[in-house]
Structure 1
Amino acid sequence: MKNFAIIGAAGFIAERHLRAVKETGNRVVAATDTFDVMGRMDSFFPEAEFFLDFSKFEKFLSEEQKTDHPIEYISICSPNYLHAQHIQSALNNNAFAICEKPLVLYPEEIEAIEKAQLSTGKKVFNILQLRLHPTIIALREKIKNGPKDKSYDIDLTYITSRGKWYYKSWKGDIEKSGGIATNIGIHFFDMLQWIFGEVQNSIVHLYEADKAAGFLQLKNARVRWYLSLDNNDIPLEAKERGMRTYRSISVEGNEIEFSGGFTDLHTQTYQQILSGNGFGLEDARPCILLTHEIRNTKPVGAIGDFHPMVIK
């Protein structure tokens, strides 16, 4: 049984990490968050220490690392802009880090974590769960076994409605979240590069607080992408079914259905990490660099090969 700690234990995604630790037969011995209503801990690890003050959490951590039952893994579910700091804290306290997406926001943070990994001998793992989705794995195998010189035409559309609260939280602050392409798009950008190869060219057609669109030329694909937080963008047929999220990826005009199959992907990710695998810094690097480039690129408008919803 491995000992875990969790940073950002009150966040939405943290419950999946708590469940993953439990379902892999391990335990959380300490958790921290600035939010103090933490009843969810009672369903998973009621005996875990809990800290509102991060400095007290780090003090507890440093003391635990001197014992014969140290904390071996620290799961990071904090806001995006704190990831780099919390990864460094985990590595410097002689623990492996397991971090939610995006791993970090800025290229220079990648370099700092590289140095920390080298000096501590520990690693950071990123949650890139789409790489474990059965449908995505099947698509990758199909492309891998297909024509080597083919360039596929792809449309990516992801709309996930958000209310007014979103723009007043850290998620609505581009300096803290990285903006819409980073906050909700990074998994898809990672998945597309994992399947179709590295980015050769990127064009941004639209970039606003609640929506963004662009074009990617990958090694083996031409991708028109559109991301939105605006409920008005949800297609009518989806709205009529009460849906507030719409996800679509078409390859050569054929829809890739992967709306299901997400329930245990965090647990599978933890199993991979605990067995000596997992996705590390080098796996995360390409999508971090791409999203950083996207948010710092001036949109060109509806010019060239753009996603149909840009006109809408």
Structure 2
Amino acid sequence: MKNFALIGAAGFIAERHMRAIKETGNQITAATDQFDVMGRMDSFFPEAEFFLDFQKFEEYLSEHQFDFTSVCSPNYLHAAHIQSALHAGTDAICEKPLVLFPDELEAVEKAMEQSGKQVFNILQLRLHETIIALREKIKSGPKDKIYDIDLTYITSRGKWYYESWKGDKNRSGGVATNIGIHFFDMLSWIFGEVENSIVHAYDDNKAAGFLQLKQARVRWYLSLDYNDIPTNVKLKGMRTYRSILVEGDEIEFSEGFTNLHTISYQHILNGKGFRAEVAKPCIILTHQIRNAKPIGLKGDYHPLLKESIS
């Protein structure tokens, strides 16, 4: 049984980490968050020590034996919390994005070198059965084929979103980082490294662009705007729409997400986790995307962009 600490225990994603730790037969013995209503802990690890004061949590971490620290805090705190975990002598498991900025990644890499500990990023789409099957299909196909892909991900958010840290691109990384980085990682894992990136539009609630990968031309569109969701999806009462078209064929992967965090943890515990160097290309890519100058309706842009702008 491995001993875990948890940072950001009150966040939405933290419950998936708690469940994964429990389902893999391990335990959380210390957790921290600024939010002081933590009833969810009772369903998983009611005996865990809980700290509102992060300094006291760090002291406890350094004075006791821990194997891993899971980082589920807001994006802009990941780098600091990962370094804290490493310097306390634990390996770290962090939600996406690993960090926001390339210089933060350099600091994390330095902390790994100093501590001798590792950082693992949750990249659960790489463990989705449908995505794995697609990758195998591409790998067994023609090596010189360039596939045409449309990526659409619309996950509508209420007004609260823009008042929270998630709505601040300096703290969340903006749309491309906060909701897009998993998909960029998945596509580059399947179709090869990024050779060129063009940004057509970038705003607080949507972004669109084009990626030239080694084996794919990708038109991508990311949005938080409910108005962008197709009518037939709205009629079903759904507020999220995801679609990946490969050569015009829909890749359906709406199902199979329920246990991917548990699979991710088992993957890490088996010595096969996704380390910092795996996450690095997409950290650099999303940093470039949010700092690029959008070119508008020029070149090969996603078909939804014209509707959105008009």
Greater shift in the superposed pair: 104-113 or 180-189: 104-113
> 2:63 & 2:105 partners in 1: Cα distance?
28
Tell me the percent identity: 75
> 1:36 & 1:71 partners in 2: Cα distance?
23
> 1:81 & 1:106 partners in 2: Cα distance?
9
Secondary structure, counterpart of 2:274 in structure 1: coil
Q: Deviations over 1:194-247 (max 9, x none)?
A: 000011000000000000000000000000000000000000000000010000
Q: Please state how far the C-alpha of 1:111 moved relative to its aligned partner.
A: 1.0
Of 100, 121, 124 in structure 1, the residue corresponding to residue 119 of structure 2 is: 124
> 2:62 & 2:203 partners in 1: Cα distance?
43
Q: Please state how far the C-alpha of 1:63 moved relative to its aligned partner.
A: 1.1
Moved over 6 A (4+): none
Structure 1 counterpart of 2:3, which letter? N
Structure 2 counterpart of 1:85, which letter? A
Alignment-derived partner of residue 28 in structure 1: 28
Q: Please state how far the C-alpha of 1:7 moved relative to its aligned partner.
A: 0.2
Alignment-derived partner of residue 16 in structure 1: 16
Q: Please state how far the C-alpha of 1:277 moved relative to its aligned partner.
A: 1.2
Alignment-derived partner of residue 3 in structure 2: 3
Alignment-derived partner of residue 181 in structure 2: 186
Greater shift in the superposed pair: 105-114 or 290-299: 105-114
Alignment-derived partner of residue 157 in structure 2: 162
The alignment status of 1:229 with 2:224, answered yes or no, reads yes
Structure 2 counterpart of 1:212, which letter? A
The alignment status of 1:149 with 2:144, answered yes or no, reads yes
Q: Superposition RMSD on alpha carbons, in Å?
A: 0.4
Of 290, 305, 309 in structure 2, the residue corresponding to residue 310 of structure 1 is: 305
Secondary structure, counterpart of 1:78 in structure 2: coil
Alignment-derived partner of residue 212 in structure 2: 217
> 2:168 & 2:26 partners in 1: Cα distance?
35
> 1:276 & 1:258 partners in 2: Cα distance?
26
Structure 2 counterpart of 1:18, which letter? M
Q: Please state how far the C-alpha of 1:132 moved relative to its aligned partner.
A: 0.1
Matches for 1:25-174 after TM superposition, within 5 Å: 25-64=25-64, 70-174=65-169
Q: Please state how far the C-alpha of 1:299 moved relative to its aligned partner.
A: 0.3
The TM-score normalised by the length of structure 1 is 0.98
> 1:213 & 1:268 partners in 2: Cα distance?
31
**Structure 2 unaligned blocks of 5 or more:** none
The alignment status of 1:201 with 2:187, answered yes or no, reads no
Q: Please state how far the C-alpha of 1:109 moved relative to its aligned partner.
A: 1.0
> 2:205 & 2:105 partners in 1: Cα distance?
27
Q: Deviations over 1:23-49 (max 9, x none)?
A: 000000000000011000000000000
For the 8 Å contact 2:199–2:295, the answer to whether it is kept is yes
Structure 2 counterpart of 1:262, which letter? F
Q: Please state how far the C-alpha of 1:93 moved relative to its aligned partner.
A: 0.5
Structure 1 counterpart of 2:20, which letter? A
Of 234, 240, 248 in structure 2, the residue corresponding to residue 245 of structure 1 is: 240
For the 8 Å contact 2:62–2:89, the answer to whether it is kept is no
> 2:294 & 2:95 partners in 1: Cα distance?
28
Q: Please state how far the C-alpha of 1:110 moved relative to its aligned partner.
A: 1.1
Q: Please state how far the C-alpha of 1:304 moved relative to its aligned partner.
A: 0.5
Secondary structure, counterpart of 1:16 in structure 2: helix
**Structure 1 unaligned blocks of 5 or more:** 65-69
Of 270, 275, 278 in structure 2, the residue corresponding to residue 283 of structure 1 is: 278
Q: How many pairs were matched up?
A: 307
